[in-house]
Structures are given as C-alpha cells and as structure tokens.
Amino acid sequence: MRRWNGWGDDQFSLELPEQGQSFLSERIGAATPLQDTTLASVCASVPESRLPADASVDDLIDRTPETRVRHARGQSLADWLAMRSGEIGEFPDGVAFPKTNTDVRTLLHFAQEQDVHLIPYGGGTSVAGHINPVDQGKPVLTVSLASLNRMIDLDRESQVATFGAGTPGPLVESQLRAQGYTLGHFPQSFELSTIGGWVASRSSGQQSLRYGRIEQLFAGGRIETLQGTLNLPTIPASSAGPDIREMILGSEGRLGMITEVKARVSQLPEQESFHVVFFPNWNDARTAARRLVQNRVQLSMLRLSNAIETETQLALAGHPRLIGLLERFLAFRGADEGKCMMTFGVTGTRPQCRAALAEARKICASQQGVYTGTKLGAKWAEKRFTMPYLREALWHMGYAVDTLETATDWDNVDNLLNSMETNLREGLADRNERTHVFTHLSHFYGQGCSIYTTYVFRVADTYEETLSRWQHLKNTTSELIVQNRGTISHQHGVGKDHAPFLPVEKGELGMRAIRSLTDSFDPDQRLNPKTLLD
C-alpha cells in the first residue's frame, strides 16, 4: 500500500550501505531520528468536514478522515515533517473521485453554487505545496483524478495518444508499450505522478533531451473550467496567435481541471543504452557537456555530477571493493580527486545510436574524459526512480534530505551553482550544524541547463526546529536563485512554496498577464487558491 507519510509503496524500501552511513556521519555528524506519529493518531485529529451535503455530488465524495489525511500533503520536506509529526494543519473537507468529464463538470458546478474551493489532485507528488489546502474560511474539496487513468485513443499515424489526466507514469507507459509506443516522459516522480499533473506543473523528464519537456509532448486536450469546457485541438504547430496550450501548461489548477491529455508519442526505439564517463575536473566536465548539447549530438539523456556528488554516489553505492578498483583505474587514467561523473544515454535507430555514441566519446575524450562503458549506466537506469526511497532510509537514521533545482544560461551556471551550494553548506553554521551538499547538471539546452542540488542535514531535537532549519535553507537559497538569473523552478513548478519568489522572475507585467488569465477563468478564486499566485 502507498505510504501515507512518505514516498512510494510501503512494501519497498532501500537500505543505506554501511559505508554510506559512516560517510554521512563523518561529514555532518551522527544523528538521532525523530519519532513518527501514527496514521491512527492523525486521523483522530481530523476536524468535521465543512462540505455541505449536496445530492448532485455526494456519491463522488469521500469524507472519511483517512482519505482526507492521505490527500492533505505532497512530498516536500515540509510536508514530510508535517506528516511525521502529525502537525498537518489543514485537511481537505473531502476528496472527490470523478469517473467522467461530466462528473468533473458537476463538481465545478457544485463549487460555484456552494462556495467551495477545489484542489485538483493527480499523484500527490508535488514538492512545492501545490495540493495543500490553505485556510480561507471556505470548505475545501480535493478532486482526485485517479479514476481517469486509461488510454482513450492511440492515433498511430499522427502518433498522438489520448489519456485520462489521472493516468500515472507506469500506466501511461504500459498502455503505450503494449502497442509499440512510448511517451518517453520520465520524471523522478514517474511511479506516482500523472500525465495531467505533468501538464499542470510543466514537468520535465530524465530523457527530455530526446523526447522534450512536457511542453513539447502536450498536443492538446480537455480542460473543464468554471466558464465551460476548453477543448484544445491537436495541431502540430501554428502561428495563429498566442498558444492556449502554453497558458494551460504550468497553470497548476488555477484555470480549470485538465481531464484529458493528448500527447505526442514515439515508436519504441530500436536501441537504448546508458554510458558513464569520468572527467578529472569540473571545468573539463562542464565544457564537454556544453559541447555535446551545442553540437546537437543526438543523446537521449545527459547528467553531470559535480565532484562532491560523484564522491557521494560512489560512497553510497555499496560494493566498496569494486568501487575501489574503479577508482584506482580512474586515478591511473588521470581522474582522481575532484573527478566528475557524466552519464549519457543514446536512444534511437541502430545507426543513430552508433553515430551519437562515437561523437559523444570523441568530445568527452577531447576534454580528458575517461569512458567506462555501460555498466554504471545500466545501474543508473535500473535505479532511476528509486532515489526518493533513499529519503525514507535517511529519515530513519535521523537525516533530512531535500533538493533545490533551477535552470540558468551557461555563462551563469558555475556562479549560480557555487552560490547555491555555499549558501546551503553554510546556512546552518550559526546553529552549529553542517549540511552535506552536492549537485548535478541535467536537462541540457544549447542556452544552458538545469542545476539540481541535494542537501542533507541532521534533524533537530524537535520537529519545530527541524522545520525551521529547512525553511531557512530553502528560503534563502530560493531568494538567491531568483536574484541571480535562475528560474525558481525548472521542473517542480511553483505551488505555494515558490509563489513568493515568482514575481522577481516574471516581473510586474508578467504577473499581471498571468493574473488576467486567472481573473478571467476564475474571478472568485475558487480553484486551488494561493497556488502559483499568492
């Protein structure tokens, strides 16, 4: 069953190998875990539902405490601390499970008539507070699109597939693969997040280099709004005025509820493999990555870990003897202290893969890269969605882990990366706490790339102080990002946590443009209030 207070299926857990524990303990000290509360105790704390009875929707709504608890929070670290401590604050007053577009329209009508706020809910994997209710003095109904989880149509000629918006990653891929197709959208939240959620929050997947971001994959669909149904036709490209698709992408439920997504799919590739190269230093590694993408080498994924992430990953991987051998080999080839690991994928027809691999190896070699083949790449592919489970393992050891991500132009990558890492590393110094911080670049563009930084710190004696540590690190670094030419989010969206930082990025007139859309579609702010625009 899905964990009520953390990530994924409770039948699956990861162990941190022994040397991983000692590595962290050396870096930031041994830790003592906090005590988690129980589901039963949280359920007992859930207040009465404020939702009015209404025969038109009562069949669709579950008001039981457990369901309300299970839909109250996402997966940000603040959400974890809330769920683990039991201090959840706001709960939805009920959770609706519409089975059809008509059900969704009925729920919107109900909200309008009964002055109820609605929160659309996909996989509940937001790490930015998208689906958390806020107290506005109105009843809140969370609308789970979980029942809209089928592939409705597949047009093989146009390679457009239509899905119910609540279809989660694995069901998107399994329904497509059965027909020889793939969407190719693999965010780390893939196991739980949904295709409608990807559109609503402008998601990006690990193989965006080949398949594109969700902006490129979203061909059209159906959005139920308080003003009626918005049908977005599928047209491959158009110069007919501003693109309405692009107003829905990233709208985070503020304009309406996405119920159907038409997505651009691809035939399953003939071949796919992932390769690992080590570079002796960051400068060569970063230059190689930039050259790969600016030369349009046909890769399907690219990820570049900085020296600390490389060291951390090797330490946490287990298999100390094998890793020791690898490190001696790399040292012999010139990649020793300070080495940086690059993982890249080649996907496509056999000739495409052959050509891309040859070009990639050549560019890497010219920047002193040491090619190590596909073994470590296969490991990456095998574990590509398991990182969130490690959070659970660390939690039980007394460590809190969170990530921060942005994107910026190439000329600013090092500056922003270093500022973010320094701010996180030194952020708890006045509380006499250390933070372990490491970063990778991924999602590469000719113009720049995303920066994805992970930080680990010890939980404090109390939940309150632990939350305060996190808030300090998160908020100061977020401010630093938007003040230094970074986007407040490359792939996690805005939600409630990033909303205060959005105006710096969009500017006053940019915010006005977004507000003119929400004012037009939802003048009374009934749909996911305080998300995106606070």
What residues numbered 287-306 form the site for its own copies, per CB under 8 A?
290, 294-298
Kindly tell me the burial class for residue 235, based on how many C-beta atoms sit within 10 Å of its own C-beta (0-12, 13-18, 19 or more): exposed
Interface region with its own copies, contact rule CB under 8 A, candidates 38-46, 53-61, 238-246, 470-478: 238-246
Smallest gap from Cβ 452 to its own copies, in A, equals 13
Q: Does 532 bind its own copies (CB under 8 A)?
A: yes
Q: Does 517 bind its own copies (CB under 8 A)?
A: yes
Whether 125 and 193 have beta carbons less than 8 Å apart is answered as yes
Q: Does 157 bind its own copies (CB under 8 A)?
A: yes
Smallest gap from Cβ 413 to its own copies, in A, equals 9
DSSP string, 56-81: TTGGGEE--HHHHHHTS--SSHHHHH
Q: Which is nearer to its own copies, 265 or 467 (CB)?
A: 265
Q: Does 407 bind its own copies (CB under 8 A)?
A: yes
What residues numbered 73-92 form the site for its own copies, per CB under 8 A?
none
Smallest gap from Cβ 265 to its own copies, in A, equals 8
What residues numbered 160-219 form the site for its own copies, per CB under 8 A?
160, 201-204, 210, 213, 215, 219
Q: Which is nearer to its own copies, 312 or 518 (CB)?
A: 518
Q: Does 521 bind its own copies (CB under 8 A)?
A: yes
Whether 142 and 92 have beta carbons less than 8 Å apart is answered as yes
Q: Of 235, 322, 325, 365, which lies in the binding site for its own copies, with binding defined by CB under 8 A?
A: 235
Smallest gap from Cβ 446 to its own copies, in A, equals 5
Give the relative orientation of helices 307-316 and 320-332 as an angle to the nearest 10 degrees. 150
Smallest gap from Cβ 477 to its own copies, in A, equals 15
What residues numbered 3-62 form the site for its own copies, per CB under 8 A?
none
DSSP H or E run through 304: strand 301-305
Q: Does 510 bind its own copies (CB under 8 A)?
A: yes
Q: How many CB atoms lie within 10 A of CB 394?
A: 22
Q: Does 236 bind its own copies (CB under 8 A)?
A: yes
What residues numbered 239-258 form the site for its own copies, per CB under 8 A?
239-244, 246-252
Q: Does 446 bind its own copies (CB under 8 A)?
A: yes
Whether 161 and 357 have beta carbons less than 8 Å apart is answered as no
Q: Does 450 bind its own copies (CB under 8 A)?
A: yes
Q: Of 364, 502, 527, 530, which lies in the binding site for its own copies, with binding defined by CB under 8 A?
A: 502
- Rounded-to-integer distance, Cα 338 and Cα 286, Å: 13
State how far the alpha carbon of 99 is from the alpha carbons of 6, 71, 164, 195, 414, in Å: 27, 18, 10, 16, 48
Count Cβ neighbours within 10 Å for each residue of 352-362 and write b for 16 or more, e otherwise. bbeebbebbee
Interface region with its own copies, contact rule CB under 8 A, candidates 50-58, 223-231, 382-390, 463-471: 223-231
Query: How far out from the chain centre does Cα 39 lie?
Result: 25
SS (H, E, C) 383-439: CCCCHHHHHHHHHHCCEEEEEEEEEEEHHHHHHHHHHHHHHHHHCCHHHCCCCEEEE
Reported residue count of the chain is: 534
Smallest gap from Cβ 512 to its own copies, in A, equals 6
User: For its own copies, how many residues bind (rule: CB under 8 A)?
Assistant: 97
What residues numbered 318-377 form the site for its own copies, per CB under 8 A?
348-349, 351-352, 354-355, 358-359
- Rounded-to-integer distance, Cα 396 and Cα 103, Å: 41
Q: Which amino acid is at 509?
A: L
